[in-house]
Amino acid sequence: MERSLSSVMLAEAYGTFLLTFIGATSITVASDANLFSVGPTLGLGFVGLAHGLALLAGIASVGSISGGYFNPAITFAAFTAGRFPKNRVLPYVVAQFAGATFAAAVELAMVGMTAASIPGVDLGSNLPNTALPNYLFAAVLAEIVGTTFLTMAVLGSTDKESSGIAWASSSIGLVLAATIWALASVSGASLNPARSFGPAIISLIFNIDTQPISYYWIYVVGPVLGALLAAMLYRLIYKRV
């Protein structure tokens, strides 16, 4: 049964809120020993796992309503792969950006300006590693590669040929976690334009930092290119031509 537009938009907004809030807050908590004494003991493993479990929780909660995309790049890829109706692309993307922005605003209300202003964290924003040579190229490449992995996990695990594999959808959260472990130190491993937008725009609005919004283009260009590459690869592998 096809759900109403309002239902699927609310589901996508909720799922993106869940992913952004838990993911971004996990970065904030793991980055300040003064405010969160347990933080430094958590590390990147905790951050990756938080994102992966949040994505799985979102899919389990509302995936049956909207498909559980929670990511404009994944939505774009599903459309490009012929798996998503054109007339719902924009409503999904609007809902995803709204959910991510609200998540960052709630995080700010919860942790306060001191925690939000941790240098290089900025409400759990995604930022490139400027210590790397050619760091802009490295960050864009990391986002392309990471989003390709994540998108292939989504398209492959939800393909009708994978319907009999009970654990297939769980791979989506695992791939997100593993990609963050591998690439977060290069680009922040957003793989999601909405996930990056929420903390970046709230940081800008509340004068926390302008860096996240200035680098935001990385988290649009990289994920969109990665999603497009994955959609093309999916069509070739699964012969969706």
The tens digit of pLDDT for each residue in 203-219 reads: 999 999 999 999 999 99
Average pLDDT of span 47-62: 94
- Which has the closest alpha carbon to 108: 20, 44, 48, 193? 20
Distance CA 26, CA 125 (A): 11
Q: How far apart are alpha carbons 200 and 209 in whole angstroms?
A: 8
pLDDT of residue 14: 98
Supply the pTM of this predicted model.
0.93
In this structure, the chain runs to a length of: 241
The Cα 176–Cα 49 span in angstroms is: 8
Alpha-helical segments (H) within 71-88: 72-80
Lowest mean pLDDT among 75-89, 163-177, 189-203: 163-177
pLDDT attached to residue 219: 98
Interhelix angle 218-237/193-205, nearest 10 degrees: 170
What is the residue whose two structure tokens read 């130190």? 185
5-116+124-237: what CATH class? mainly alpha
What ranges in the chain are assigned the alpha helix state H? 5-29, 43-66, 72-80, 89-116, 135-157, 170-187, 193-205, 211-214, 218-237
